[in-house]
């Protein structure tokens, strides 16, 4: 359960990762000369540098989401019951395991258009990273300075959708999510006129009535609607730090509070971390559930060079700034 938001016109991309467990996540930079290895194609010995959230196994970054040094972003979100991977590779196509998508796309492409062209020839094979590793059912949001698209793997192959909304959550498939927005076309950030009964005195008793009916639960369709409404109406200041802060306000508005969503196994589904990648400045911002403080990791020329993965464990303890009265 996750929510991803893209502002391609601002170079700001990010997501909430909603999960009931941790997967060894840490901020990882894959430098340009760290070889990317694939099951069914030649390695990429040299490529664009990547920064994002990943677990690391066998010297390989398994990214949940990342961006490259050229400003292209890609995030995988849970898509159970709908995602389909083929059992076997096929000749004359680009066969990839799902976990190989983000490294190949971000390592090779500079724009969303380039990524879409590359992915059009891909066949996703049901191949986990290694024995014992899960094969996550996913769909993806890909966004860059030229726009965004959604890619969903179905039984008849990959489906691509123009992402004019700039939001992705989980089930149902994207066309249903997009169509469902029609049910909320009457909502507005402004106080509505009395169209219920113009002759009846119905005084305004508070602000926010224009959004009456906006979903507030944590289900994927409700998060899609709420995130789309907030994204379309959010006002951004001119200063870059304040823009990043505003981005996190959007994510926080669709986050999961610990204890509000219980899985069938009796575990708490919660927003384990939220992130915003400023692709213009090359900075990965994040906060974890327990550390509300924003942390920042910069992709520099030094960290983008070389062969060794750069890994930074998450700051996951509550942090407070104490002010002293004068």
Closest to 83 in 3D by CA, of 36, 148, 134: 134
Q: Is 2 a catalytic residue?
A: yes
3-state secondary structure of 103: helix
Q: C-alpha distances in angstroms, 35 versus 170, 184, 209, 253?
A: 32, 47, 54, 38
Q: What is the full DSSP assignment across 156-188?
A: TEEEEEE-SS-EE-SSS-HHHHHHHGGGGTT--
Rounded to whole angstroms, the Cα distance separating 192 from 209 reads 7
Which runs of consecutive H residues, i.e. helices, occur in the chain? 101-108, 112-119, 174-180, 220-233, 240-253, 301-304
Which runs of consecutive H residues, i.e. helices, occur in 61-164? 101-108, 112-119
Q: What's 23's DSSP letter? A: -
Rounded to whole angstroms, the Cα distance separating 28 from 26 reads 6
Catalytic, out of 2, 109, 275, 276: 2
Do 153 and 175 contact (CB within 8 A), yes or no? no
Do 191 and 150 contact (CB within 8 A), yes or no? no
User: Active-site residue numbers?
Assistant: 2
């Amino acid at each position: 359960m996750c929510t991803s938001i893209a502002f391609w016109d601002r170079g700001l991309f990010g997501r909430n990762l909603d999960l009931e467990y941790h997967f060894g996540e840490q901020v990882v930079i894959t430098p340009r000369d760290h070889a990317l290895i694939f099951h069914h194609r030649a390695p990429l010995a040299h490529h664009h540098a990547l920064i994002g959230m990943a677990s690391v196994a066998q010297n390989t970054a398994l990214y949940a989401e990342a961006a490259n040094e050229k400003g292209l972003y890609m995030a995988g979100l849970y898509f159970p019951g709908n995602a389909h991977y083929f059992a076997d590779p096929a000749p004359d196509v680009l066969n990839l395991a799902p976990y190989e998508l983000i490294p190949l796309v971000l390592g090779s492409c500079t724009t969303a258009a380039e990524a879409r062209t590359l992915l059009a020839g891909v066949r996703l094979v049901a191949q986990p990273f290694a024995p014992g590793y899960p094969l996550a059912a996913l769909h993806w949001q890909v966004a860059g300075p030229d726009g965004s698209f959604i890619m969903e793997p179905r039984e008849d192959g990959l489906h691509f959708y123009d992402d004019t909304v700039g939001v992705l959550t989980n089930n149902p498939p994207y066309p249903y999510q997009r169509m469902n927005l029609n049910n909320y076309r009457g909502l507005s950030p402004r106080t509505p006129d009395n169209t219920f009964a113009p002759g009846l005195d119905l005084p305004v008793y508070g602000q926010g009535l224009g959004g009456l009916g906006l979903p507030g639960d944590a289900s994927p369709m409700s998060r899609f609607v709420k995130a789309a409404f907030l994204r379309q109406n959010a006002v951004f200041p001119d200063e870059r730090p304040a823009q990043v802060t505003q981005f996190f306000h959007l994510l926080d508005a669709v986050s999961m509070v610990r204890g509000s969503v219980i899985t069938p196994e009796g575990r708490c589904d919660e927003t384990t971390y939220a992130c915003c990648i400023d692709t213009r400045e090359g900075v990965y911002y994040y906060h974890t559930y327990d550390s509300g403080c924003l942390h920042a990791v910069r992709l520099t020329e030094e960290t983008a060079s070389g062969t060794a993965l750069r890994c930074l464990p998450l700051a996951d303890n509550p942090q407070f700034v104490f002010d002293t009265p004068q």
